[in-house]
Every structure is written in structure tokens, then in C-alpha cells.
Amino acid sequence: MGLLKNIVREAFILSKIDITKNIEYDRITRLILKKLLKTNSNCIDVGCHKGDILRLFLKYAPYGTHYAFEPLPHLYSELVKKYNSQAKIFPYALSDKEGRSSFQYVINAPAYSGIKRRRYDISSPEIEEIEVEVKSLDSLIPDTERIDFLKIDVEGGEFPVLKGAINLLKSSKPTILFESGLGASDFYGTDANSLFEFLNDEIGLKIFTLKSFVSNRQPATKQQFEYYFNSNEEFCFIASNLL
């Protein structure tokens, strides 16, 4: 069933038939990566899951250095089997603090798994609480490593990941693909204004919707981002200084 679902999803993406928001985001993400990545770009995938974005990093930047993070043990093992010779795979959850943490593994929807429980858009989520090791990007990525692209999909914990990478962000100013919005981010204490001010004012990156980034390159204002965050009309964004 999983294989059939992936085949159907791929067909919709290739046909440019956006029957869901997630399929639209997947399609536009491919366009962005194909356009931005150079053959030697260095990339980070936080919340690598099954490796869909990592696979695109390897396709478009085959000579770059790529880092991938996935704390769910069974997914981490599969990633190591597939990509260990091509990328640096780590079994850590990422945040702005280090140590051990409980982690909510959503058995019947693993993509919803994260450090904290969030609102789940499925009925009767089956949750197993496991323990994981937590690190920060600044403690793991060498200071001398230039990072060109950073993808973060950690079910609401994106802002802590960013705060744990502040040195990397200031030195490399990578383009960042991230999700954020009510129902997930607020369970980590994140609000739209604080996230906007961190990326825009402190790091120097403008925030775009995916469609805006590939078309008119008009960044969102703080008010627009707050609306997207609170309404979930858009929940996937690009932060970049590539205007």
C-alpha cells in the first residue's frame, strides 16, 4: 500500500496536479532545489524521515557534503543502509539544548513524530514515548563548513532547531526550508512575531511562501507571516537572502 501511495503521489507531482497542499509543496520544493543547488552545495536535512529531501540533495548537489538527522531508530537504520556512503547520518533530535529527551513516536503516522505532542490531523493517533539524544547544529557542524541549504521538518520544533544553529546561520546564511504554524509550533512556545524577528532581524533572512519564492520573490511582511502562521493558510516557508 505504501509503494502504491508513493507512485500515485509521484504521478501527481510530475503532472503538476496539486490535489493537496502537501503535494503542491513537494512539487515547488523540487523546483527550488533544482534551481538553487549547485553541484557542490552543502546541505542539512533535519527530520530526514525516509530521505525524500536528502535524495534530492544528492541528485542536485552530488559533490556537496550533506548531513541528515533522524531520531526514530527504524528510520535512522534505513537511512544508514541507503545513504551512509553518500551523507553523514545522525540519530539525534535537534534543538537549542542538549541532553536526553522523551520523544513522541506516532506509530500510525510517523511523520507527525516529535519531541512534544502536538495537534494531530488524524483520528486516534497511536503514540509510543521513546527516549532520544538531543544535540544542536552548532555543536555538530564544523565552524569551517559552509552550509548552503537547510531543511527543517520537526513537527513544531523548528524554532528551537534554528536557535541551536545561530552561529551557523549567521556565518553561512543558508536558504532555509521550514514548516511553522499553529497546531504544532505553539506547542513549543513559538509565536509568529518572535520567529519572524529572529530570521528577518537577527539573521538577515527574508521569509517567503514557496509560491512567492519561485515567482515574484516578494517576501512576507511580519503581518502577513503572522496571518499565515495563525491561519495555516500557508505552513511551509523559505527563508533566504537571495533576492
Residue pLDDT, tens place only, 209-227: 999 999 978 999 999 999 9
The fraction of the chain above a pLDDT of 70, given in percent, is 92
Per-residue pLDDT for 19 more than 70? no
Per-residue pLDDT for 6 more than 80? no
Q: How do 127-135 and 93-94 pair as beta strands?
A: parallel
The fraction of the chain above a pLDDT of 90, given in percent, is 88
Per-residue pLDDT for 205 more than 50? yes
Q: Which domain holds residue 52?
A: 20-240
3 belongs to a structural domain:
no
For position 243, what pLDDT does the model report? Answer: 67
2 belongs to a structural domain:
no
Q: In CATH, what number is assigned to the domain containing residue 169?
A: 3.40.50.150
Mean pLDDT, range 175-192, rounded to an integer: 97
Classify residue 20 as exposed, middle or buried by CB count within 10 Å of its CB (0-12, 13-18, 19+): exposed
Is the separation of the CB atoms in 81 and 51 below 8 Å? no
9 belongs to a structural domain:
no
Query: What DSSP letter does each residue of 75-127 carry, written as one string?
Result: HHHHHHHHHTTTSEEE--EE-SS-EEEEEEEETT-GGG-BSS----SSSS--E
Bridge partners, residue 238, by sequence: 177, 208
10 belongs to a structural domain:
no
Using DSSP's 3-state secondary structure scheme, residue 157 falls into: coil
For position 104, what pLDDT does the model report? Answer: 97
Instruction: List the Cα angle 187/211/243 in 5-degree steps.
Output: 100
Residues 67, 4: Cα–Cα separation, whole Å:
29
What is the total count of domains within the chain? 1
11 belongs to a structural domain:
no
Query: What DSSP letter does each residue of 162-214 carry, written as one string?
Result: HHTTHHHHHHH--EEEEE--TTTGGGGT--HHHHHIIIIIII--EEEEHHHHH
Q: How do 127-135 and 149-152 pair as beta strands?
A: unpaired
Using DSSP's 3-state secondary structure scheme, residue 145 falls into: coil
Is the separation of the CB atoms in 147 and 122 below 8 Å? no
Name 36's Cβ contacts closer than 8 Å, sequence gap at least 6.
148, 149, 175, 242
For position 22, what pLDDT does the model report? Answer: 84
For position 140, what pLDDT does the model report? Answer: 98
pTM to 2 decimal places: 0.91
Per-residue pLDDT for 60 more than 70? yes
218 belongs to a structural domain:
yes
Which of the residue ranges 6-10, 134-138, 155-159, 176-180 would you say has the lowest mean pLDDT? 6-10
For position 217, what pLDDT does the model report? Answer: 82
13 belongs to a structural domain:
no
The confidence band for 136, taking pLDDT boundaries of 50, 70 and 90, is very high
77 belongs to a structural domain:
yes
Cα 12 to Cα 2, 17, 125, distances in angstroms: 16, 5, 27
